[in-house]
Structure 1
């Protein structure tokens, strides 16, 4: 970090926040480059991940969660259904609604991407960091987790 505080105990939260934000952005960009997303949009990837994380949902629920119109979500999910990554079934409580779920092929696509990113990151850590540096990063990760855990 370039702007270390000159005196112990000095608040460097603004500098730390800017450096951390920049670093996380670069890390995310590098990790995204390690898995093939094909022609999927950010919304389509978000839908797949949301269905994996939160389970089946209707088009309107997905649209609301992603902050887009229901019609736009319908356009976004059509290629995912065509690829066989999600499937729609009638809502048992309301036959007018369709509930979307992740298929095994969709789960496999997500798992392959995660595996590619994990492998890349593990290789880069082994290649560029000493054992002592890896221990420092491990300690830093525990501290960073406190920032995001509620």
Structure 2
């Protein structure tokens, strides 16, 4: 057993939790800052991404997913609609509601943003040695497991 392994085994969860949270938060912030020049806000991008992942949601469902109040989501959706990135269709069972979905243009915008972010991260990963990249590969699997819990 290497010293690194012994040290890692001795880190109690209560000590690891804030360290891991901080590292994830900082990396996430840095990745989010890496985006093509454009006038979409982080909030608008997030809403558009949620629609792309979900396929379609009511405005209330989207507000819940994004953890914002419905009036805030109404403004976000209006701006995305104005740009042709989101479309409204009648709800199939409730005439008082609508269903929101990303348009082809909206999906293309998200794909461009994801490509730029992936390229930035790939350039950073090249700077690491093979062992560090393998450790991150394993960490990614573990983080996905934590996210499913």
- Global fold match (TM > 0.5): yes
Match of 2:60 in 1: 60
Question: Could you tell me how far 1:66 is from its partner in structure 2?
Answer: 3.1
Match of 1:80 in 2: 80
Match of 1:25 in 2: 25
- In structure 1, C-alpha distance between the alignment counterparts of 2:146 and 2:86, rounded to whole Å: 33
Question: Could you tell me how far 1:8 is from its partner in structure 2?
Answer: 7.9
Render the CA deviation track for 1:93-139: whole Å, top value 9, x for unaligned.
2333221111011101111111111111111111x211222222223
Match of 2:95 in 1: 95
Is the 2:87–2:100 contact (alpha carbons within 8 Å) kept by the matching residues of 1?
yes
- Structure 1 length as normaliser, TM-score? 0.81
**Which has the higher mean CA deviation after the structures are superposed, 62-71 or 6-15?**
6-15
Aligned length: 146
Structure 2 gaps, min length 5: none
More helix by share: 2
- In structure 2, C-alpha distance between the alignment counterparts of 1:7 and 1:124, rounded to whole Å: 26
- Structure 2 length as normaliser, TM-score? 0.82
Match of 1:145 in 2: 144
Structure 1 gaps, min length 5: none
**For the aligned residues, what is the CA RMSD?**
2.5
Query: Residues 37 and 51 of structure 1: is their aligned pair in 2 closer, same or farther, counting only changes over 3 Å?
Result: farther
| Residue 118 (1) aligns with residue 123 (2) | no
More strand by share: 1
